[in-house]
Structure 1
Amino acid sequence: MNSGRILSVQSHVAYGYVGGKAAAFPLQCLGYDVDVVNTVHYSNHAGYARAGGTKTTAAELREIFESMERNELLNPSRLLTGYIPNAEALSAVKGLAEKLTSENSNLTYLLDPVMGDSGRLYVAADVVPVYRDMLPLSTIITPNGFEVETLTNISLTCLDSLLQALTKLHVTHRVPHVVISSISLQPWLARMLPPDLRPTDEADHLLCITSSRRDDGSETPFRSTIHAQTVPLLPGYFSGVGDLFSALLLGHFDPSTPPSTALPRAAAQALARTHAVLSRTLEFSRSLPEEEQLPSDDEKDKQNPLRKTRRMRGRELRLVQSLDILTEKRDREMVELPGIWDVSMN
């Protein structure tokens, strides 16, 4: 069982499990006290046909942080930040991160740069440069493949481009630990994996990659320690998956162990538990009445918004029902790719 306080700054929904609601309960199950600051207050996540609520302004965020400090309540051992809708609010969170990291050199800060996926931003474009400025403050970042491209301005099309992006994040932006939480297992990515890690059905898998800057930082040319693991795609649309993964990763990360092992061990636990929760959620959704399992159809969903609502409702993460998954150790490990930097040079 872990101990310590985690300050979580991300979105909130009244119904369902995304953002802070996908993070707080799993972290509490791991033994952490979790202080929650909401960057938005919505009825439900954006995957539903309709949603209502408000965004927390930068002034309101600063007032919350300042009041916590005045009351001597701003003393986390770990910081987790996720969805923040605009640059003004993100700048307020950046100020908080600067303060906490300057006051506590042992703070573990996981920055999840939630910006978009599948080639599309779903936040204001002006957050991108602010996120780049925040990268040196972080201990760990957890972008997906699209977010790596957005942060680095490097398209991930081959092994060399992947290593260039990782180098830029580690060297230019001084990030100690990078986790690419999910990227489609394209043929060029599959080729870099050892044979026993390559699935026969590559198109039906995602890849998770971890990269840790080596201790002394003096190696020339730059090298990092890279691990990877594949995970089968599950059919359908789920929300809150990245939020859950990042929370579990932070909760399992042990900064007292060597950097080359701390990150892959935490990622292995986060990946296995997240996939198990998703599998349980999928199993539950398949037990629902037929009208709550109807496939996506934009035209029909537009004509009857409740059609989409019922489908989304049945795919909310089954977190409370997964207490056993969240608290039991999972055994699947990340696999080191020790020769990947040499392969790219040939």
Structure 2
Amino acid sequence: MRFGPARAFALGARGFASRPPAVLSIQSHVCYGAAGNSAAVFPMRRLGVEVWPVNTVQFSNHTQYAEGWEGLPTPTEQIGLLAKGIERIGALGRCSAILSGYLGTEEQGGAVLDVVRRVKAANPAAIYCCDPVMGHPAKGCVVPEGVQRHHAEASAASADVLCPNVLELGVMTGSEPDTPQAVVRAARALLGAGSARLVLVKHLAHAGLSPDDSFEMLLVGHEEAWHIATPLLPFGRPPVGVGDLTSALFLVGLLQGRSPKAALEHTAGAYFEVMRATSEAEEYELQLVAAQDGLVDPPRSFEAIALDA
């Protein structure tokens, strides 16, 4: 079966079996709130994974505040320099996975792929999980020119795991998937075009499986696909960083030896606990600290259902 069994994703660094997995997480950082690394690093560490964050931008807050934000992209060359520094001290071979997210410039995409090549040279078992953030201008989230093209071409060809939402999936495949079957077809087009073994479609809005009261995800492999749904809780302003959180949770599940289906189910339960804590606090920012125990052992479980697709 080409849809990798659990052992295909229980990937660690050679010679470091007693150490926890380590993730080199290359994405945005906000000083206040939870988006990019600020949404992903704490949950991964709370789940027992070492995280080495590299920030593609450093902003005061996420870009969907009406008041705006302050901050700058990280110089492109710094991304590679940081990886070289880790390599120089002999630690890059311990890296189990690279997780990439928001890019501050198109050029940063090339720098990320250079880091991926460097890591895989040091540890061929390492996997690359790409969250191809492309922005949503209607919500105030924008990405620089060229980033969409980079993901559609280079990221799609290079990643082992891809975590787009439906809109990003459409851009990457030149399609407009509007049914679950179309989502599966588009995801399999990505699987056939590059090295990816799994595509996690993080939000099925506009895909026919996402009513107003549900948050739904679809996990697609070469031969199997699973659908999972959780209740969509009420928010005055929907929090940002949910995609960054779910990509990180799913990657950790794979690294810790869960099957893809079990990793999806844990991701859904942990996501829901964060959203529950955030909704109950009536906060705009994800309440990761308040929900931290639920990240490890979600009190509510959700079952992934196999799709005939």
Task: Give the TM interval when normalised to the shorter protein.
Answer: 0.7 to 0.9
Match of 1:127? 147
From 220, 239, 247, give the equivalent of 1:211: 220
Q: Please say if residues 2 and 32 of structure 1, whose CA atoms lie closer than 8 Å, have aligned partners that are also in contact.
A: no
1:271 correspondence with 2:268: yes
Deviation, 1:160, is 5.0
Q: Please say if residues 152 and 165 of structure 1, whose CA atoms lie closer than 8 Å, have aligned partners that are also in contact.
A: yes
Match of 2:134? 115
TM-score (norm 2): 0.85
Deviation, 1:282, is 1.0
> Which has a greater percent of helix?
1
Instruction: List per-residue Cα deviations over 1:178-234 (Å, max 9, x = no partner).
Output: 0000021654x47xxxxxxxxxxx333232000112xxxxxxxxxx20000122223
Tell which has more relative contact order, 1 or 2 (C-alpha 8 A, sep 6+).
Answer: 2
Residues 272 and 118 (structure 1), Cα distance of their counterparts in 2 relative to 1, 3 Å cut: farther
Match of 2:80? 62
CA-based RMSD of the aligned residues comes to 2.3
Q: Please say if residues 185 and 203 of structure 1, whose CA atoms lie closer than 8 Å, have aligned partners that are also in contact.
A: no
SS of structure 1 residue aligned to 2:110? helix
SS of structure 1 residue aligned to 2:278? helix
Unpaired stretches in structure 1, ≥5 consecutive residues: 191-201, 214-223, 286-313, 341-346
Deviation, 1:324, is 1.4
What is the distance in 2 between the residues matched to 1:159 and 1:43? 38
Amino acid at match of 1:138: A
Residues 254 and 38 (structure 1), Cα distance of their counterparts in 2 relative to 1, 3 Å cut: closer
When Rg is computed on C-alpha atoms for both structures, the one with the higher figure is 1
Percent of aligned pairs with the same residue? Answer: 28
Which aligned pairs between 1:149-298 and structure 2 lie closer than 5 A? Answer: 149-184=170-205, 186-187=207-208, 189=209, 202-213=211-222, 224-234=223-233, 235=235, 236-254=237-255, 262-285=259-282
Match of 1:326? 295
Match of 1:139? 160
What is the distance in 2 between the residues matched to 1:167 and 1:154? 12
Instruction: List per-residue Cα deviations over 1:20-42 (Å, max 9, x = no partner).
Output: 11111111111111111111111
SS of structure 1 residue aligned to 2:92? coil
Q: Please say if residues 2 and 31 of structure 1, whose CA atoms lie closer than 8 Å, have aligned partners that are also in contact.
A: no
Question: How many pairs align?
Answer: 285
Deviation, 1:266, is 0.7
TM-score (norm 1): 0.76
What is the distance in 2 between the residues matched to 1:32 and 1:140? 18
Residues 316 and 13 (structure 1), Cα distance of their counterparts in 2 relative to 1, 3 Å cut: same
SS of structure 1 residue aligned to 2:190? helix
Unpaired stretches in structure 2, ≥5 consecutive residues: 1-17
